[in-house]
Structures are given as structure tokens and as C-alpha cells.
Amino acid sequence: MINISPRQLQVFVETVAAGSLRAAAERLHLTQPAASMALTEMERLLGGPLFDRVRGRLRLNARGHELLPLARELLERHAEFARAAAGAGGALAGELRIGTSNTVGNYRVGELLGGFVQAAPEVAIRLRVGNTDDIARALLAHELDVACVEGTALPSGLEVLPWRDDALLVCAPPGHPLARRRGLKEADFADAAWVIREPGSATRLLTEQVLGRLPPPRGRLELSQTEAIKQAVAAGLGIALLPEVAVRDALAAGCLCALRTPFLQPFLHRRLSLLLPRGSYRGGLLEAFLRATIA
């Protein structure tokens, strides 16, 4: 029987999460030599390395990737055992790593996290915000515990739980020629300039579908943040497909206007979903988060 200690598992998991042994030692309040000794002893007990050492850096190898989710599960089960043994089954503590798309992370984070944070104030939340493709990859790499994104073109290794519906609008500056027209048709968009999100964004994918229904655009300006796109549209650099939740204030202030485009209706609604690695262990923290979020 291999006697791997919880401390050794912690050093392993934190080294992956923090990106270096030094950062892992700081998180665990250990000296770097103590953390290094724990990791070295764990690798000795396992009969081989979990990391490749490349120019002084640690890179998780294939075996490390295989054992990482099991190590995290063992730590979570150990924490649950300790809570139960102490008679504090309802007192949640620990860390939950959550990823979100830009839309969710920038405009719906209170809706996503509020109920859980109030119910479990001692749980540390690490939030990572990125485009949908990046967040999905991080989840599959076990860099995150759960994610919330928009989009349907998701890897097959993920479990998808519906969360909320999300509306989108085609936005233009108030002085744009299309803003002054009534009864817009596809042909009216001929020679229009567009401002679009970067590849990997679910909004970019929808925008490409919208552009496929319209005459060729005069130009395309690509930006990686919704707020930057809002500013570009307000400055008259083009029109854009944007989440309704992201432009409410700008619409109310008269900085942007929403074009009436009923012919694009199939592209103006999408589902926001919670993502989990398919078949992964759901510890107490994750189950509590799902209950608070989906309820």
C-alpha cells in the first residue's frame, strides 16, 4: 500500500494550481524546501515523476494529468470526513475554482455567486474569466471545478446543466443610418461595418451566423472585450451583436440604440449553462454550489 499523506497531495495539487512550487509553498504556509521535500517523497512513493522539469520549471506530465483529479477528490473527501467527524457537516470551508465566460463574469457574477457566497461565507472563491473556449479547456484540464458559459459548441467531455437564458441585441450608435430606419430588412445592412469579438467567444460564433444571413460587411473590427466593443460602437466605428445585459446602461443613457431585427430572431437568444467534467466527483462544496445556483 502506498502511504501518500494529505500534505503531499496538497503540495501536488497546489503546485499545479499556483504554477510553481514556490507559490504552492506560500499558499500552504510552508517553506519551499519543505514543499519540495513533500513533492519529491510523493513522486518516490509513486515510483516516478508527476512533473517534467524544464529549465527550472515544473510542467505536469501525462501521469500527473491522470492523477490530478484523483488527488483533488481525495483531498475533498478528507475534508468532508473531517467536517463530519467534528460534527460540523453544515459548515462548508475550503476553495472552489469557478470559471466564467466574459458575459457571465462581467455582468452576471452576482447572480451566479451571490446565493452561494451568502450561504457559505468561509469558502474561498477563485474566479477565472475568459472566452468560452478557454474556460472549457481549463475545465477539461482540471484547472477549474465548475464553469458557467454561453454557447453550444462545447467539448464532448463536459456535462452541461442549463442555467439561464440570455438575450442579444444588434446595437448601433444613435446617429447611425440604420438607427433612423423603420422596418429594417437584410438588404439594409449592405456595406455596414461591424465590431466583433475574438475567435473562441460564443458571441463571435453567433455574430458569424448573423453575418451569414446578411450582405457582406464593409469591414470588421475585432476586439476581445465587450466593454471595448461598446465603446467602439458608441464612437461610430460600426455595429455589433451584444448581450442585452451588457448594454442596458448604455441604452438607457442614449449612448447606444438597439436595432429592430426580427429576421435575426433565431440568433438573438441563447442558453447560459453550468459545465462540469463528465463523470467527475462532486464534493460537498461543489454540490452546495450547484444547489445554490440552480435553485
Q: Per-domain residue ranges for the chain? A: 6-86, 94-164+272-294, 168-269
Residues of the chain with pLDDT under 50: none
Supply the pLDDT for residue 186. 94
In the DSSP assignment, the letter for residue 245 is H
Residue type, 290: L
CATH of segment(s) 94-164+272-294: 3.40.190.10
- Pair 120, 92: CB distance under 8 Å: yes
As a whole number of angstroms, the distance between CA 214 and CA 59 comes to 46
Supply the pLDDT for residue 105. 95
CA 83 to chain centre: 29
Supply the pLDDT for residue 142. 82
As a whole number of angstroms, the distance between CA 99 and CA 93 comes to 19
CA distance readout (Å), 228 to 160, 222, 233, 237, 242 = 29, 10, 9, 11, 11
Residue type, 22: R
Supply the pLDDT for residue 91. 67
Which fold is adopted by the domain 168-269?
D-Maltodextrin-Binding Protein; domain 2 (3.40.190)
Burial class (CB in 10 A: 0-12, 13-18, 19+), 29: exposed
Beta-sheet pairing, 269-277 with 123-130: unpaired
Is there a shared CATH topology between the 94-164+272-294 domain and the 168-269 domain? yes
Q: Does domain 6-86 have CATH number 3.30.530.20?
A: no
* Strands annotated E in the chain: 51-54, 57-60, 94-101, 123-130, 146-150, 158-172, 193-196, 219-222, 240-243, 257-258, 269-277
As a whole number of angstroms, the distance between CA 171 and CA 176 comes to 10
And the C-alpha cell for 76?
Answer: 475533498
Helix H segments across 86-217? 102-107, 109-119, 132-140, 202-213
pLDDT tens figures, 36-94: 999 999 999 999 999 998 877 888 899 998 888 888 888 888 877 777 766 655 567 78
pTM of the model as a whole: 0.79
CA distance readout (Å), 260 to 48, 73, 182, 185 = 62, 50, 8, 9
